[in-house]
């Protein structure tokens, strides 16, 4: 088997990123859209840690820790918005969240 | 990756895993990522996302980053996904698990994602030479200590990311305030 290089990890991260983008664009359920955003953040984290290993310093890993902190804050606020909206309209369907349409 | 591992071998440290571990973990991560975006039930999708997070944490461990692995498992899989599951149970209506999974404009989304994938593939094929090993990888045993030095600073001096750490705590305060205010019945 060929040794595992940085490029292998980047390919996995790119695959996860594209899957997350597909999930954000395609799914109807808002909660699953938020979970696809978490997939995207994980792909970016994997990229950062792989590059940290490649360059031989820890800046990528510290950046990844900050991204995890940011993902926690954003998940809390996003789910709060979802709950506040659900109290109004009783739906989690992105096609029905259209109160701002003309 | 290889010169660093040779140096580690020479210094007495055995390699962490064979390439088979990487392929199994990467396959698990990508397959459960695909399950997240295609499963009909939201709880099943959350469980698939937990599997993805744990396999990505194992990939971090293969990259000799044990502290980020711990943070990912405790914060991401143990905190954020539990929050998601609570919210799914709060907003779970039977109707949403029986109707169409994909929204009205799904062909456009799929086309955009294919363009993005083609962009990634061309970047990897043309830029293969950019991703060669450069620096000396740091040892795994002092990983947490070195991250702590960068985040909190040495005794008496500021680390490189101490200011960012303080701003991150401010960000968490704002997020807590936002989440509490938005879920109140009367503000």
- Compute the CA torsion angle B107, B110, B115, B117 (nearest 10 deg): -160
**pLDDT tens for each residue of B90-144:** 887 766 666 777 888 889 999 999 999 999 999 999 988 888 877 777 787 889 9
**DSSP 3-state assignment of A93?**
strand
Q: Which two tokens stand for residue B85?
A: 């599951």
- Mean pLDDT lowest for which of A64-78, A86-100, B173-187? A86-100
Pair B17, B86 in one domain: yes
* pLDDT mean over B38-61: 95
Residues of B in contact with A62 (CB under 8 A): 147, 150-151, 160-161
Cα(A35)–Cα(A15) distance, integer angstroms: 16
Pair B28, B93 in one domain: yes
Residue range(s) defining the domain that contains residue B165:
142-187
Closest Cα partner for B19 from B36, B42, B2, B7? B2
Give the rounded percent of residues in chain B with a pLDDT score beyond 90.
56
Please give the radius of gyration of chain A, using alpha carbons only, rounded to the nearest integer: 17
* pLDDT mean over A13-38: 94
Q: Residue B23: inside a domain, yes or no?
A: yes
* pLDDT mean over B11-31: 78
Look up the CATH number of the domain holding residue B26.
Answer: 1.20.120.1200
Q: Residue B116: inside a domain, yes or no?
A: no
Q: Would the ipTM clear 0.90, i.e. be above it?
A: yes
* pLDDT mean over A12-35: 94
pTM for the structure as a whole: 0.89
Phi, psi of A29, rounded to the nearest 5 degrees: -80, 130
**DSSP 3-state assignment of A27?**
strand
Q: Residue B121: inside a domain, yes or no?
A: no
Which residues in chain B (153-172) have CB-CB distances under 8 A to chain A? 160-161, 164, 168, 171-172
The number of residues in chain B equals 187
Pair B14, B86 in one domain: yes
Residue located via tokens 């040892």: B139
Q: Residue B118: inside a domain, yes or no?
A: no
Which residues in chain B (71-90) have CB-CB distances under 8 A to chain A? 71-72, 75-76, 79-80, 83-84, 87-88, 90
Q: Residue B114: inside a domain, yes or no?
A: no
Q: Residue B127: inside a domain, yes or no?
A: no
CATH number for the segment(s) A6-90: 1.10.287.3510
């Amino acid at each position: 088997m060929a040794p595992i290089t940085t490029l292998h990890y980047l390919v996995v991260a790119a695959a996860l990123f594209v899957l997350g983008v597909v999930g954000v664009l395609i799914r109807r359920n808002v909660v699953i859209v938020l979970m696809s955003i978490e997939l995207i953040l994980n792909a970016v984290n994997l990229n950062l840690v792989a590059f940290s290993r490649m360059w031989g310093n820890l800046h990528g890993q510290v950046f990844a820790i900050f991204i995890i902190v940011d993902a926690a804050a954003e998940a809390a606020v996003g789910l709060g918005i979802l709950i506040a909206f659900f109290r109004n309209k009783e739906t989690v369907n992105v096609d029905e969240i259209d109160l701002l349409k003309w | 990756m290889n010169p660093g591992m040779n140096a580690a071998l020479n210094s007495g440290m055995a390699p962490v895993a064979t390439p088979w571990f990487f392929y199994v973990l990467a396959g698990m991560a990508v397959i459960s990522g695909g399950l997240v975006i295609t499963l009909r039930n939201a709880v099943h999708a959350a469980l698939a996302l937990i599997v993805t997070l744990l396999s990505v944490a194992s990939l971090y461990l293969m990259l000799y980053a044990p502290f980020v692995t711990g943070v990912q498992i405790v914060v991401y899989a143990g905190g954020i996904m539990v929050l998601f599951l609570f919210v799914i149970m709060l907003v779970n209506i039977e109707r949403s698990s029986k109707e169409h999974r994909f929204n009205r404009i799904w062909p456009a989304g799929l086309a955009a994602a294919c363009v993005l994938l083609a962009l990634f593939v061309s970047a990897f094929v043309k830029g293969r030479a950019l991703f060669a090993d450069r620096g000396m990888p740091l040892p795994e045993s002092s990983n947490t200590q070195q991250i702590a030095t960068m985040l909190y600073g040495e005794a008496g001096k500021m680390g490189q990311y101490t200011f960012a750490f303080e701003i991150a705590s401010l960000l968490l305060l704002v997020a807590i305030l936002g989440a509490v205010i938005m879920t109140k019945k009367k503000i």
